[in-house]
Amino acid sequence: MKILLVSGHRPGHNLCKATGVDEGSLNVELVRSLLPLLSPCAQVGVYPYERDMYQDNKNGCLKVSLKDYRYIFEVHFNAGGGRGTSVQLHSGYRGGISVEQAIVDNVSALGFKKRGDNGIVRRSDLLNMNTALRLGIDYALIEVCFYDSAADLALYRQKRQETAHAIAKGIIDKFGLKAGDADSSSDQTEGRSAVVTGCSFLNVRRTPNGAVLGTVKGGTALKILGTGKDPEEDIWYRVTAGSLTGYVWPKYVR
Ligand SMILES: [Zn+2]
């Protein structure tokens, strides 16, 4: 399963003078903690940390192809004088909410009170959320806690790793993900010698189904380094052939 993690603002943005903390850095820090927790169980992409996805979306210059993902999870911290945690979903979203309910249950178990309807808030005024709904991609946004609340922020500082684990556990448990689901390097083809067969020339690509780096002739010896998946989830071999290292279509390798 492909998951896109989004940190809500760029580092340094939305500084709270009272606590001296900016929301952008908190968002990025948490996404960085989520990444290694989810990566063994899913193919996890991250929207570039130095970009603001909302701004890019508004300007029509998204840096990631959203359609490649099954689930988008956007991280924010709240402000405005409240306390507590919530996971936000589109008012028009009619799918199940077991993942989001588990996330907010797990986070609130660390001591953050639930906001909204048992921790779930429905809204329809967020651009990224609207875009995901239109594309048919499941999307959730967490407001972890209030970073302008000294009490919430102190609790979060104390339980930062636990918070990341609480979120990851909700996603892993309720999507039914397993460790190894995203592991392509354990493929038994790894390290095997092979030969190009059944074609005159075979394209070697920079990424699975990506740009062509060069071609090798039929009969060329190559070494399979591992595998990778393209956006269609098809598996490609990562190989070295002569001076080229890249991805080839497995059908022409024996
Ligand atoms: Zn925010």
CA of 174 to the centre of ligand 1 (A): 25
Which candidate, 216, 202, 219, 225, places its Cα nearest to that of 244?
216
CA of 77 to the centre of ligand 1 (A): 6
Query: CB atoms < 10 A from the CB of 106, how many?
Result: 20
Question: Can you point out the beta strands (E) in the chain?
Answer: 2-7, 15-16, 21-22, 43-46, 71-78, 86-90, 120-123, 138-146, 193-195, 201-205, 212-217, 221-229, 235-241, 244-248
180 pLDDT band, cuts 50/70/90, is: confident
At the top level of CATH, the class of 2-175 is alpha beta
Pick the CATH number of 193-252 from 3.40.50.2300, 3.40.190.10, 2.30.30.40, 3.10.310.30: 2.30.30.40
CA of 16 to the centre of ligand 1 (A): 12
CA of 33 to the centre of ligand 1 (A): 18
Q: What integer pLDDT is reported at residue 185 of this predicted model?
A: 40
- Residue spans per domain, the chain: 2-175, 193-252
CA of 124 to the centre of ligand 1 (A): 16
- Kindly state the helix (H) or strand (E) to which residue 157 belongs, with its residue range: helix 150-158
Q: What integer pLDDT is reported at residue 184 of this predicted model?
A: 44
> What is the model's pTM?
0.72
> Hey, do 2-175 and 193-252 end up sharing a CATH topology, with the first three levels equal?
no
State pLDDT tens for residues 66-106: 988 999 999 999 999 999 999 999 999 888 899 999 999 99
CA of 189 to the centre of ligand 1 (A): 44
CA of 14 to the centre of ligand 1 (A): 8
Length of the chain: 254
CA of 216 to the centre of ligand 1 (A): 49
State pLDDT tens for residues 103-159: 999 999 999 999 999 999 999 999 999 999 999 899 999 999 999 999 999 999 999
Helices vs. strands in the chain: H and E counts, helices first:
6, 14
Q: Round to the nearest angstrom and report the end-to-end CA distance of the chain.
A: 28
